[in-house]
């Protein structure tokens, strides 16, 4: 069976594709169209450059040829695959690539992972910490609402099957997509060397790595850190403008990892930190647990109102940091490791091919 992932969000699709190739009779590739320092590529990653139609009349003929070649290359990959699994959204805003995929008759899956599909209006209803941050709502509501509706419509038109972590399932209408699949984020745990916080450490290293400072609640983190510096001994690093490899190197040395305080669930950064054996602080909404997140999740549920107290508890208790780190690693082993999640995905794929 040949599995083609389209797009790469937080490196999860390239990690998954590489992991699938370790299973018998499975060949998997990840087709990407952009490169950035925050994502990881590997030997199963295929990069295709995206061309835009030329405005200059003297370049129209050359542009037309490039666009035709581009279309053929993408269609060739769709023809190669038995399963086409998108992440985030279509390759082109118009969704024309989804039509090409649909014409092959192959099963199409789609994995939504965050701001691609969050319904901001509904999020305000179920998440008091998001609702209380009016600047956040103002900045993201209009563009997010338009994008969500468009993606839902585009993938519904090709009868795509959504694969959703518990948080994302809150925002996808079951009437529109009755055949939803529950899927946890994946990680290659063997690539993460366990390094639990030391029991004899009296000056813990706290890190916060905000890809989006407003949405991550960075302003609250900086305020509390500044306040606690007056009475507690610790080191703090704000990890920004680094490659993924550089950020992971610092994360491995940390004693406490602060992720996000507002959005309402955890993502790949929290999973990576737990994989290293670090205690993680992030905000998880009650609705996410109701949607299927295991109650045994060891993340320290933290929002702007309890950040200070939770940080003090971790700063002053090396044993607690060590124990939470060990619980986090065990949690990832049970729910997020490639060896656990990929067989579930392959089972779905095979069932759709039999039909």
Instruction: Evaluate whether 284 touches 277 at the Cβ level (below 8 Å).
Output: no
Distance separating alpha carbons of residues 63 and 13, to the nearest angstrom? 30
Q: Which domains does the chain carry?
A: 2-188+337-354 (3.40.50.2000), 189-335 (3.40.50.2000)
Angle (CA) 105 163 336, round 5° = 130
Do 98 and 90 touch, CB atoms closer than 8 A?
A: yes
- Single pTM value for the model: 0.92
Spell out the per-residue pLDDT of the chain, length 355, in tens.
999 999 999 889 999 999 999 999 999 999 998 877 667 788 999 998 887 665 555 565 666 787 788 899 999 999 999 999 999 999 998 999 999 999 999 999 999 998 889 888 888 899 999 877 666 665 666 667 778 889 999 999 999 999 999 999 999 999 999 999 999 999 999 999 999 999 998 899 999 998 888 889 999 999 999 999 999 999 999 998 888 889 999 999 999 999 999 999 999 999 999 999 999 999 999 999 999 999 999 999 999 999 999 999 999 999 999 999 999 999 999 999 999 999 999 999 999 998 6
- Residue 5, SS3 per DSSP: strand
DSSP secondary structure string, 307-350?
HHHHHHHHHT-HHHHHHHHHHHHHHHHHHTBHHHHHHHHHHHHH
Q: How far apart are CA 268 and CA 260, in angstroms?
A: 11
List all residues 6 or more positions away from 144 whose beta carbon is below 8 Å from its beta carbon: 115, 118, 119, 120
Element (H, E) at 70: helix 60-80
């Amino acid at each position: 069976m040949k599995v083609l992932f389209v797009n790469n969000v937080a490196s999860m699709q390239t990690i998954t594709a590489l992991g699938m190739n370790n299973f018998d009779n499975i060949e998997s590739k990840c087709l990407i169209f952009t490169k950035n320092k925050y994502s990881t590529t590997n030997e199963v990653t295929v990069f295709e450059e995206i061309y835009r139609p030329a405005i200059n009349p003297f370049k129209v003929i050359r542009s037309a040829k490039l666009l035709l070649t581009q279309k053929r290359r993408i269609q060739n990959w769709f023809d190669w695959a038995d399963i086409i699994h998108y992440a985030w959204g279509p390759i082109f805003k118009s969704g024309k690539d989804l039509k090409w995929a649909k014409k092959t008759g192959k099963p199409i899956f789609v994995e939504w992972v965050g701001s691609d599909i969050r319904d901001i209006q509904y999020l305000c209803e179920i998440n008091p910490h998001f609702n209380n941050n009016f600047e956040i709502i103002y900045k993201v509501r209009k563009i997010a609402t338009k994008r969500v509706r468009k993606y839902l419509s585009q993938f519904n038109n090709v009868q795509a099957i959504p694969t959703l972590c518990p948080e994302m399932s809150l925002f996808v209408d079951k009437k529109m997509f009755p055949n939803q699949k529950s899927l946890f984020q994946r990680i290659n745990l063997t690539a993460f060397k366990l390094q639990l916080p030391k029991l004899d450490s009296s000056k813990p290293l706290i890190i916060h790595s905000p890809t989006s400072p407003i949405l991550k609640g960075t302003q609250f983190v900086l305020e509390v850190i500044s306040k606690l510096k007056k009475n507690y001994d610790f080191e703090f690093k704000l990890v920004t403008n680094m490659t993924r490899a550089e950020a992971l190197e610092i994360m491995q040395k940390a004693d406490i990892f602060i992720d996000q305080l507002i959005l309402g669930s955890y993502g790949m950064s929290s999973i990576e930190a737990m994989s290293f054996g670090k205690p993680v602080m992030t905000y998880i909404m009650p609705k996410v647990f109701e949607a299927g997140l295991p109650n045994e999740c060891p993340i320290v549920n933290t929002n702007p109102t309890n950040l200070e107290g939770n940080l003090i508890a971790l700063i002053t208790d090396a044993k607690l940091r060590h124990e939470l780190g060990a619980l986090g690693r065990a949690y990832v082993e049970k729910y997020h490791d490639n060896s656990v999640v990929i067989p579930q995905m392959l089972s779905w794929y095979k069932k759709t091919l039999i039909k």
